[in-house]
Amino acid sequence: MNKKTIITCAVTGSAPTPGKSDAVPVTPAEIAASAVDAWRSGAAIVHCHVRDPETALPSMELEHYRGVVEGIQATDCDAIINLTTGPGARLIPGMENPLDVQEGTTVASPAERVRHIEELRPPICSLDVATMNFNEHVFLNTPAHLKIMAERARAAGAKPELEVFDTGQIELAKRLIADGVIDSPPYFQLCLGISYGATATPEAMMHMRDRLPEDANWSAFGISRQQFPMVAQAVLLGGHVRVGLEDNIYLGPGELAPSNAALVERAAGIIGDLGSSPASPVEAREILGLGAA
């Protein structure tokens, strides 16, 4: 078990959660403010998607990302900013002709998906090492596209957070590391409980942890009701943790979380009860080899 445990807060995500909870931030200003509140509650890393302020739907708009980053940086917050590169990977093939894609497809080029990383240069960006069925669509991340995105992220000074949803994706990540596309030591995020990926169970987390490179830093999360059990499991297995309204909108059974900060506070309590303590952003930078801010 680590003496210091990094808490990542996934602030808003891309799921249709704003219609289910008023606590989910939508505008750049709301996302930035929620990220700062999460930092004040113990999060060392804030993982940020953006949404269209008018529709609350997922967005890839550079200016929305800029608004979030500048909103955080305008405060005394020293949280490590982690921007997603997940949007632009949704594929819904046509029924009669699979190449005639259906409405809702958002497939974008690798360059488009990392444009905001190159422009805003966050210390960390997510990199989904996964092509898989994701609810009713395909989440498309080919090895060739991942290589381009990883190389451009490296040139922008962003460390990839390797998001993996099953063990085969860990093997692909290890191939990218062996090929020199991803620098060592790598940083993995084990994503558990996502539809058609690894289940949010102790056995699944342990098996995925055991497949990681020996020098890897890793974090894990479970979605919905498994968020806090997976926090405890990750701490016990020597990993770091992620919570936030992207993954879960409940603080307890039938009790909507009032904020991202409340979820972070609950995670910090679990970490403390198990004999570790939340890492500060400075400590998290040292653990992940990010260098000074």
Residue 263, φ and ψ in degrees, nearest 5: -65, -40
pLDDT for position 14: 93
pLDDT for position 22: 96
In whole angstroms, what is the distance from residue 174 CA to residue 181 CA?
10
Regions of the chain with pLDDT less than 50:
none
pLDDT for position 135: 86
Q: Is 172 exposed, middle or buried (0-12, 13-18, 19+ CB in 10 A)?
A: middle
For 145, what's the count of Cα atoms within 13 Å in the CB-facing half-sphere?
21
In whole angstroms, what is the distance from residue 160 CA to residue 123 CA?
9
Query: Among residues 184, 183, 201, which one has the least CA distance to residue 193?
Result: 201
At 221-277, the pLDDT tens digits run 999 999 999 999 999 999 999 999 999 999 999 999 999 999 999 999 999 999 999
Spell out the domain ranges in the chain.
Answer: 4-288
pTM for the full predicted model: 0.97
CB 224 within 8 A of CB 191: no
What CATH superfamily classification does 4-288 receive? Aldolase class I (3.20.20.70)
pLDDT for position 194: 95
